[in-house]
Amino acid sequence: MTKEKIVSIEDRIPKLKQARKKKANRRLVFYLSIFFFLISIIVYLQSPLSHVKTILVTGNSFYPDKEVIEQSGLKKDTNIWTIKKEEITKALEEIPLVDTVTVETKLPWTIEIHLIEHERIGYIKKENSYYPILGNGEVFSDSGDEQLTGDAPLLVNFSDKKVLTEMSEELSKLTTNIRNIISEIHMTQTDENNKEIILFMSDGFVVESSVRDFSEKMKVYPSIAAQLDPNVEGIIHIGVGAYFEPFNQEITEEEEIITNDNEE
């Protein structure tokens, strides 16, 4: 029979005291860590370290960054934790050119403003300057240029605001490849059609159509233009149907293009 080693209480007490001391030290370090962490947060929130230092603006093509920042109400001495994104968004959406706004906070001190502008679907000339027309029909009168940039067609004689808005909405519905080949759109009202328009295309053709359902009618244009001789000048009539009329010539059966088959 083996004898168990008996440890006296006197031998155990130092070890118990040492274990309790280590446990107490770990607990003290834990609480001190939390304390200093909280103190650091308070100091950070109350100090310039939490102030906005960088404001980045993206997506703006007309307004300088400085004007966008001024409109937003942001300042570089603003505490980043007090930023109200909804108020900034609302303020920036008051800019006519701006469609949507996204505001992001990136610690420790950066604010990013992302803008999506209304699409520029055309230009209108006032006096000696050209002003962009937005997809919602608004004329961006804050920015004029003495020369056209060529990224959208020029609209001429659109004096009626409602017709201009309708035309803008129709242009917004067009595919990019069709809109890009329209150089000018002239309003030419007649007794029969008070929304008649003439288009001058960059591929050399002239198109007669109307504002009403314009985007739907113009879907057939690429297939029509592809069948025509580019050396023969004339006008493409696009309405219920479509046909080509050479200038100073009578229309022949070969030159007439009916697009009912294309639409089916």
Residue by residue, DSSP assigns the chain as -PPPPPPPHHHHHHHHHHHHHHHHHHHHHHHHHHHHHHHHHHHHHHSGGGB--EEEEES-SSS-HHHHHHHHT--TTSBGGG--HHHHHHHHTTSTTEEEEEEEEETTTEEEEEEEEPPEEEEEEETTEEEEEETTS-B-TT--BSS--SSSPEEES---HHHHHHHHHHHHHS-HHHHTTEEEEEE---SS-TTEEEEEETTS-EEEEESTTHHHHGGGHHHHHHHS-TTS-EEEEESSSEEEEETTS---TTT----HHHH-
Same domain, 249 and 157: yes
Domain boundary among 117, 140, 164: 117
Q: What is the CATH number of the domain that holds 59?
A: 3.10.20.310
Please determine, for residue 41, whether its predicted confidence score (pLDDT) is greater than 80.
no
Based on the fold, state whether residues 54 and 158 are members of the same structural domain: no
The rounded mean pLDDT for the chain is 82
pLDDT exceeds cutoff 70 at 248: no
Shared-domain flag, residues 161 and 257: yes
Tens of pLDDT along 67-84?
999 999 998 888 888 899
pLDDT recorded at residue 10: 53
Q: pLDDT at position 48, please?
A: 75
Which percentage of the chain shows pLDDT scores above 90?
A: 39
Indicate whether 18 belongs to any domain: no
On whether the CB atoms of residues 192 and 145 are closer than 8 A, the answer is no
The tokens 């804050």 sit on which residue?
A: 142
Q: Do 159 and 251 share a structural domain?
A: yes
In a domain, 4, yes or no: no
The span from the CA of 27 to the CA of 101, in Å, is 49
249 and 156 in a common domain: yes
CATH number, domain with residue 249: 3.40.50.10960
What is the residue whose two structure tokens read 């993206």? 58
Are residue 162 and residue 236 in the same domain, yes or no?
yes
Residues 112 and 155 in one domain: no
User: What per-residue confidence (pLDDT) applies to 82?
Assistant: 87
The band of 44, judged by pLDDT with boundaries at 50, 70 and 90, is low
pLDDT value at residue 195: 87
Domain that holds residue 214: 150-263
Query: Over 90: is that where the pLDDT of 252 sits?
Result: no
Q: Which of 16-20, 175-179, 196-200, 231-235 has the lowest mean pLDDT?
A: 16-20
Least confident of 15-19, 37-41, 119-123: 15-19
Confidence category of residue 13, pLDDT binned at 50, 70, 90: low
Distance CA(121)–CA(135), nearest Å, equals 6
pLDDT band for 17, please (50, 70, 90 cuts): low
Let me know whether 232 and 172 are in one domain: yes
The more confidently predicted of residues 153 and 95 is 153
The model carries a pTM of: 0.63
Q: Do the domain assignments include residue 33?
A: no
Kind of pairing between the strands at 196-201 and 182-187: antiparallel
**Quick one: 95 and 163 in the same domain?**
no
In a domain, 36, yes or no: no
Comparing CA positions, the residue from 214, 210, 249, 209 lying closest to residue 229 is 249
Point out the domain boundary residue: 117, 139, 158: 117
Are the CB atoms for 226 and 203 separated by under 8 Å?
no
Distance CA 191, CA 158 (A): 17
pLDDT for 234 equals 87
The confidence band for 12, taking pLDDT boundaries of 50, 70 and 90, is: low
Domain boundary among 117, 133, 163: 117
Does 92 or 11 have the greater pLDDT score? 92
- Cα–Cα distance between 185 and 198 in angstroms, integer? 6
Rounded average pLDDT over 187-205: 83
